[in-house]
Amino acid sequence: MRMILAVMYREFRIRTTSLTWIFYDLLIPLLYLLIFGIALNRTISSGILLAGTLVSYNAFFLAGVLSMASFGIALNTAYGFFVDRDNGIFFEFLTYPMTRSQFLIGKILFNCLLAVLQAAITVAFAAVLLEIPLMWDRMGVLLVAVVLTTAGWFFFLSSFALRIRRNDMFNTFMNLAYFVLMFASSIFYPLEGLPGWLRTTAMLNPLTWHTEMLRFATIGADSPVLLETLAFLVFLLASFYFALRTLRYGILK
Amino acid sequence: MYPMTIGTATAIVAENLVKVYRERSSAPVRALDGMSLEVKSGEVFGLLGRNGAGKTTLLRILTTLVEPTSGLVSVLGFNVQKEPYQVRKNICAVLQENAVELYLSVADNLATYARFHGIPREKARPRIEAAIRQFGLEEYRTQKVIDMSGGTKRRIQVAKAFMVDTPLMFLDEPTTGMDPITKRTTLDALRVESSRGRTVFLTTHILQEAEELCDRIAIIDHGRIVAQGDLRTIKSLASNIVDVSLTFSEVTDRLLEELSALPLLKLTRRHNSFDFSLRGKEQSALDVITRLAASHSIMEVEIRGATLEDAFLELLGRDISGTPGEEPRS
């Protein structure tokens, strides 16, 4: 545990050296919700049918915003491997008295705390400013879901960040992958109206499972959340295994 | 005193170590090719070799960064492949790349390192102060590292290794980029660590450093150890080489021509002085000097036995004879 705390402390120190970073991490989801969400809320004024009831687009989109936000934090944290490599400190870290799993877990845990704080701010503003009716009794579920999903994506992205040597290659690859993942998911729209092939793709997309877990925890969902949660847990464990394997054997072949 | 060993008098044992790097885009590279070596506890061990000889690969294996393709390797009695965590608990490493937190201050860099190595805050504070003093970092204490020179970053990196108590210390060309004063401080500090029983494993290009510091030396080439032993043993491999320094009252074209015609192993010039090595015993050197003295005025003469550099060149079979008219390359 001491080593995990040491890695968390280091992440905290690095993050707090840049106010821009903190601003980005904490407030960008709000901007998504306030600008993109409000605009679409006006456009789709009839609302969206969810679990047999009509909800506003803002309410529907809230889970999507939280989803994008925790994915963003995971992506930034994985990108941190490139920064550490440029600073030369990455390989030195790997000689410190800790296991590879302590390193990975410590690195994401601080950022999970950041993701929870970010979600709390977003949810509070969503309730106060946009008057989204939230299921307050499920906030504990939301907290756990934010932590698990942020960690899951971090482990998934780490396998690539650790294998790919050039950060421009990583950025290009991630932009493309994120584009596909985001639009073939339930972040922006419900899956019911999608063409069959896109719907099937979206249902197999971990970002859909992620978003539906958060939707269940905020306004309720009509998808098989339990199954999606289990699927995401499998995705998380598999990603952790591959990230660990990459860190052990894949960084300097 | 450091816990010199953990149940063993040998700090490092490598047997028949092979490492092949495989990249999809290029042919496999055999960085280590059946390399074996042994480092005793409490000694300063120097690994020498030219660029690409396999020094850094060996260091990466010993510090658990990469796994060997085959062979056995243990550090302080722990199998590097099976017990990497145990190995990491007992080592600290100064790698070739400058490894610093660019956005943290010098003091915070040291504090973060101390935390990673489990040094409690109350013990860390005096150690951080001592390291800052020892490596002349007082004026940078609260400054962020990002704007500092490469040499200062290197000082911070090396200072970190002196704050911890691990019984084994790895240093990959630690004095690279340092000014002569800090270089001297680092070498002195390493000697102190060694006298306290700490094992130091050092790779360096600077042969004088190795000659001054190391109890034993290994020379690596093409992934194999070509010589291993104490300084005297290594030097004896070049026992048929003598080094000569001559200072002439003036340097003429004829002198340069005569020097060019000699079968020298190396030749460097500084103003009117020439340093060269030639194969043979002292008598050969005297013969050459006598011949030169017949037509040129020699002001100073010095004949020395083989140096580590001679042994290095002899073993690696390199001919670095210069052109007599050229100044030595720095």
Whether the pLDDT of residue B1 is over 60: the answer is no
Interface contact flag, A87 B21, Cβ < 8 Å = no
Number of domains in chain A: 1
The pLDDT tens digits of the residues spanning B102-113 come to 989 999 999 999
Burial class (CB in 10 A: 0-12, 13-18, 19+), B92: buried
Chains A and B form CB pairs within 8 A to the count of: 78
Q: Is residue B323 very low, low, confident or very high in pLDDT (cuts 50, 70, 90)?
A: very low
Query: What's residue B232's pLDDT?
Result: 79
Query: What's residue B305's pLDDT?
Result: 76
- The whole domain housing A239 covers 2-250
Query: What's residue B8's pLDDT?
Result: 59
Burial class (CB in 10 A: 0-12, 13-18, 19+), B276: buried
Cβ-based contacts of A98 with chain B (< 8 Å): 85, 88, 116
The pLDDT tens digits of the residues spanning B2-39 come to 444 444 589 999 999 999 988 777 788 899 999 999 99
Q: Which of A240, A241, A233, A219 is nearest to A57 (CA)?
A: A219
Query: What's residue B11's pLDDT?
Result: 92
- DSSP code, position B144: B
- Dihedral pair phi/psi, residue B168, rounded to 5°: -130, 135
Query: What's residue A49's pLDDT?
Result: 78
The pLDDT tens digits of the residues spanning B229-243 come to 888 787 777 777 788
Whether the pLDDT of residue A138 is over 50: the answer is yes
Portion of chain B with pLDDT greater than 70, in percent: 93
Cβ-based contacts of B23 with chain A (< 8 Å): 253
Whether the pLDDT of residue B73 is over 50: the answer is yes
Q: What is the largest CA-CA distance in chain B?
A: 72
Whether the pLDDT of residue B267 is over 50: the answer is yes
Query: What's residue A253's pLDDT?
Result: 61
Query: What's residue B87's pLDDT?
Result: 95
Query: What's residue A40's pLDDT?
Result: 78
Interface contact flag, A91 B112, Cβ < 8 Å = no
- CA distance, residue B100 to nearest chain A CA (Å): 6
Cβ-based contacts of B78 with chain A (< 8 Å): none
Whole-complex ipTM: 0.82
Residues 5-24 of A with CB under 8 A from B: 6, 9-10, 13-14, 17-18
Cβ-based contacts of B26 with chain A (< 8 Å): none
**3-class secondary structure, B15:** strand
Cβ-based contacts of B32 with chain A (< 8 Å): none
- CA distance, residue A167 to nearest chain B CA (Å): 18
Mean of pLDDT values over A200-205: 93
pTM: 0.81
* Tokens standing for residue B311: 């042994």
CA B111 to chain centre: 28
Mean per-residue pLDDT over chain B, rounded: 85
Lowest mean pLDDT among A154-163, B74-83, B90-99, B301-310: B301-310
Whether the pLDDT of residue A13 is over 70: the answer is yes
Mean of pLDDT values over A211-220: 93
* Tokens standing for residue B324: 């007599």
Query: What's residue B324's pLDDT?
Result: 37
Mean per-residue pLDDT over chain A, rounded: 89
Whether chain B has a CB inside 8 Å of the CB on A179: the answer is no
Partner residue facing B115 (CB), from A6, A18, A253? A6
